[in-house]
Homo-oligomer: A and B are copies of this chain.
Amino acid sequence: MDRDRCLALDADDPLREFRAEFVLPEGVVYLVGNSLGALPRHTAERVRRTVEDEWGEQLVGGWNHAGWYEQPLTAGDRLAPLIGAGPGQVVVGNTTSIAVYQAVAAALRLRPERRVIVSDLRNFPTDHYMVQGLARLLGGYEVRDFAEGRFDDAAVVLLSEVDYRTAARHDVPSVTAAVQAAGALMVWDVCHSVGAMEVDVSGADFAVGCTYKYLCGGPGAPAFLYVNPRHHATAENVLSGWHGHAEPFAFEAGYRPAEGIRRFVVSTPHVLSLAGLEAALDVWERVPMDLVRAKSMALTSLFIDLVGDALELASPRDAAARGSQVSYRHPDGYPVMRALIDRGVHGDFRAPDLLRFGFAPLYIGYADVHDAAATLLEVLDKELWRDKKYAQRLAVT
C-alpha cells in the first residue's frame, strides 16, 4: 500500500471532516490518543465560557443557572449512548479509580454471602489496586485473578473490555452472561474501548470508564459510572456524599440516598474539568460509531500489514478481537520509541518491552499510518535507536 493510495482512502473517508475539529501539532503523527486524546478545537472557547461568563458573572448562581449542579447527570445522559446505556443510568465525576471503588463496593453489598472478588492481573493496575485497598479495608475477602476462570463463588468480576497493553478485546455479552450465570455481578472497565468502538454494557451490572483517552475530554477529565437500572433501588454508594442525598439542601444529619442514579454522585463536581468533557461530547453527539469502528479496524490492520514481521506483534491479528491500538514487543522498546518520537511519530512505551500505538479514528488518517509505519521501519532497519541519547529513562512516559 503506497502513500498515494492512503491519501485516496483519506479523501474517501466518511469521517474526514472531523479531523479539522482537533488541534494537532505540526509535523507530528500523534498515536497516543489511547492515553490522552487530542484537543477539540472549540474546547478552549467552551472552557473560557465556563470561567468568564459562568463563574465570573454568575458566581454562586452558576450552580443553578449554568447547570453545574446537574452536570454529573446531564453529562452522564449525553455520554450514555456511547456505552449502550440510556438516560438516568450514568453519572460523571471523580476518577476511574474512584468509580471502580464505588462499583465493586456496591457489588459486594449486593452479594454479602460471597467473599471473592475477581479482578484481572493483566488489567490496568489501578483497577486491581483499588480492589486490593477495598479488600484490605474489609478483611476476609479473597482477590482472585480472572485468569483462573472461576466465578461460581465470586461476588463480583471486574474486567477491562480492552487490554491496555495488547489491545486484546473481550466479548462483553458472553463474558457478562458467564459471570452472571455463576451468580456474580459484572463490572466492566471501558476506558480502553469507549470512543473507539460501539460499546454496549447494558447487560452488565456496573461499568466505569475515563473520558480523556479516545473521548478527548482533556487531561484528568472526569470519569463515569454506569449502574444498571435493576440495581438503582438497592445498590449502595459507599462514598455517600451530600450530592447523592435525597435532599442535599435540607442539610439533614442522616444520609438518605437519592432515587435512581443520583445516589451515585459523591460531591461537588469539578466544573472546569467538566467543561472540557462537555466540549468533547459536542463532537461525539455527531459521530456515527459504526464508522469509527470500521475505520479503527482498517487503520490498525493497515499498520500491522505495513510493519509486517519487523517487530513481534503483541496484539491480536484478528481486527474483531482487537481495540484501536497495536502493540509490539521489543527488548529495547524504550530507546526504539524515543527514536521514533524524535522523528515525529508519537507512540508510548510500557515496561518492560511494549511499544503501543493508538489510532483515534476521528483525527488519524491512512496517510498517518503509512508515515508512522515507514518511520518505524527506518528506525529499526538502520538501528537508529542505538544512539545513546535515547537510552535515558524519563519518569513518566
- Give chain A's interface residues, CB within 8 Å of chain B: 23, 25, 30, 32, 35-36, 38-39, 43-44, 47-48, 51-52, 54-57, 59-60, 62-64, 68-69, 94-98, 101, 105, 109, 121, 124-126, 128-130, 132-134, 136-138, 210, 212, 218-222, 236-243, 245, 248-255, 266-276, 346, 348, 350-351, 394-397
Contacts and interface: CB of A to CB of B under 8 A. Distances in A.
Given A136-B238, A137-B137, 4 more contacts: A35-B60, A69-B396, A97-B268, A132-B255
Contact of A269 (B43, B62, B220, B275): B220
A249 B397 contact: yes
Given A52-B39, A97-B241, A97-B266, A251 B133 contact: no
Given A47-B47, A51-B44, A268-B210, A395 B249 contact: yes
A288 B57 CA distance: 27
A70 to B, nearest CB: 9
Nearest to A119: B253
A52 B138 CA distance: 44
A315 to B, nearest CB: 17
A210 B271 CA distance: 14
Nearest to A254: B132
Contact of A126 (B32, B47, B212, B267): B267
A248 B97 CA distance: 13
Contacts of A276: 51, 272
Contacts of A64: 394-396
B242 A346 contact: no
Contacts of A97: 239, 241-242, 266-268
A238 to B, nearest CB: 5
Contacts of A237: 133
A212 B97 CA distance: 23
Query: When A and B form their complex, which 7 residue pairs have the shortest distance between CB atoms, in order from nearest?
Result: A133-B240, A97-B241, A126-B242, A219-B271, A97-B267, A129-B255, A36-B60
B272 A47 contact: yes
A34 B255 CA distance: 24
A164 to B, nearest CB: 9
Contacts of A23: 52, 56
Contacts of A275: 272
A124 B76 CA distance: 27
A38 to B, nearest CB: 6
A350 to B, nearest CB: 6
Of A51, A98, A395, most buried by chain B (CB within 10 Å of CB) is A51
A346 B239 contact: no
A51 B47 contact: yes
Contacts of A394: 64
A251 B138 CA distance: 24
A57 B39 CA distance: 9
A280 to B, nearest CB: 12
Contacts of A51: 39, 43-44, 47, 218, 276
Contacts of A254: 132
A259 to B, nearest CB: 15
A68 B241 contact: no
Of A121, A220, A272, A273, most buried by chain B (CB within 10 Å of CB) is A272
Contacts of A397: 249
Nearest to A30: B59
A250 B354 CA distance: 12
A129 B396 contact: no
A210 to B, nearest CB: 7
